[in-house]
Structure 1
């Protein structure tokens, strides 16, 4: 595979990042897609959101899907609305790890490239 065709998943947001010429010398060390992700990293709150998503899925029917925002409300209480995007990042990281599927309009989609609202369900 040519270097230009290589991709990785960002350790913070779970999105796909493609090889860039600027990263040619350090491609093996690249973990984050942007300066924002590099400064944010993965916090204990992010791990709590991942756990909340897995707990919600464990409490639901085997083929049921949950909204990542529900995990934000479970972790943040009244401030759960502010955790909507962190919960989406947590869902993408779980999907990248192979623990869940991201579902949009009833179909499994690529978590690294999904846009718009999505749900999460257990990986079979």
Structure 2
């Protein structure tokens, strides 16, 4: 086989981009439903601007009245605490859900993640701010500084 350069052909010009020649992916987004980070994927190349949800499950469960009540509950609970005070998502779930509060634990965590994306609160574990998309286990919610 004859190399392309030897056959009189030149490689196709590449679009100018970063130092290594690769076009950097667009910045990540936040899922409108669960508040987790959505990273760019090749399959979304043409419609990245319209992507709002990280999964089919999130697309089916768009934030509703209960989610808005959880966010309001988080705001009011934090307002009742000292400026450096924290709350557990279960407190908001108990306030909104009454006896059935346990089913609202994940929605309460999702409400907190959406509020982190909006810059209203921070999620902490053992007193340190953590990435809400990857936090597992017990979390606390505090006002953003």
Residue number in structure 2 paired with 1:62: 83
The TM-score normalised by the length of structure 1 is 0.94
1:38 aligns with 2:47: no
Find the aligned partners of 2:134 and 2:31 in 1 and give their Cα distance: 12
Which of residues 89, 105, 108 in structure 2 aligns to 1:84? 105
Question: What runs of 5+ residues in structure 2 fail to find an aligned partner?
Answer: 1-22
Find the aligned partners of 1:8 and 1:112 in 2 and give their Cα distance: 11
Find the aligned partners of 1:79 and 1:39 in 2 and give their Cα distance: 22
Residue number in structure 2 paired with 1:28: 49
- Detail structure 1 runs of 4+ shifted over 2 Å in the superposition: none
RMSD, aligned CA: 1.2
Find the aligned partners of 1:98 and 1:110 in 2 and give their Cα distance: 13
Residue number in structure 2 paired with 1:97: 118
Whether contact under 8 Å (1:50, 1:94) holds in the other structure is yes
CA deviation map 1:23-71 (0-9, x unaligned) = 1111000000000000101111100000000110001111111001110
Count of aligned residue pairs for this structure pair: 123
Whether contact under 8 Å (1:13, 1:90) holds in the other structure is yes
Find the aligned partners of 1:74 and 1:92 in 2 and give their Cα distance: 18
The structure richer in helix per residue is 1
The TM-score normalised by the length of structure 2 is 0.81
Q: Which has the larger radius of gyration?
A: 2
Question: What runs of 5+ residues in structure 1 fail to find an aligned partner?
Answer: none
